A = this chain, B = another copy of it.
Amino acid sequence: MANSASGESIIGRFVKIVNAFDDTHPAMSVAELGRRTGLPVTTTYRLVNDLLLERLLEREPGGDIHIGTRMWELASRSSKMLGLREAALPFMEDVQAVVQHSTTLGILDSDEVLYIERLGSDKTIVDITKIAGRLPVHATSSGLVLLAHSPSAYQDAFLARPLTKFTETTLTEPAALRRHLAEIRQRGFAAMPGVIVPESSGIAVPVFGPDNTVRAALSVVVPRNEENTPARVPVLMAAARGISRALGWRGELKGTLRQSH
């Protein structure tokens, strides 16, 4: 499926190129793009030109390249993300108004947490979540909530892999994690003090869809010393129920374990 010496398809190279851009590298010259992607010079220029024609990339006055408006438009036009985001936004605003630090909405994607919306404030101290950013499942409150309500086959596969220990409090033992997941299901929320960076804590609750499976995790990130979990959980839970209902969820089935399959 590839004309290239390296055996990649054009689509693969396209992803490589777009992937070379991130928040720290929002724009760069074509030459640097070639270096970052490892593609041959000529090939890079040819491909970039194709992409410029379709406006998936754009050239700024200086000559540097950045991701084009068209790319965002095409991706956003018909995305399940938009529906979820739109349903969640008003509730997230309410949470943010009360909690004042940072409110995020994340989904499970490719064994990682992908954050699709984030409300922050100037007070926000250490919060590494970014919109369209990814973080590991086992080291975030959102991730653990999502994992806790995933099909058990998925959990098994996930726990079979080796997990990175980011800080002292990061759980990496399958058995300990399993116990913790059960606790999360039972309590209805996850509270993780400094599992990825020691300075901040996350509290997360699940958001459900019409079929009673988990769709997303709603969470707040607060400084380590002022967690005040008992006070924050009810706010989060109420908001999550609101979002779930906006998605078509009709209340949890009485006495049903939420873990599906």
Contact = CB atoms under 8 A, between A and B. Distances in A.
Interface of A: 1, 9-12, 14-15, 18-19, 21-23, 25-26, 47, 50-51, 53-56, 66-67, 69-82, 86, 89, 93, 107, 109-110, 114, 116, 119, 131-134
Q: Which of A1, A55, A131 has the most CB of B within 10 A?
A: A131
Q: Which of A21, A22, A66, A67 has the most CB of B within 10 A?
A: A67
19 contacts: A1-B50, A10-B11, A11-B51, A12-B54, A22-B78, A23-B78, A66-B80, A67-B78, A67-B79, A71-B79, A72-B76, A72-B81, A72-B116, A73-B109, A74-B75, A76-B131, A82-B131, A89-B119, A93-B93
Number of copies: 2
Nearest to A89: B119
Q: Which of A71, A74, A133 has the most CB of B within 10 A?
A: A74
Contacts of A18: 74-75
A11 B54 CA distance: 8
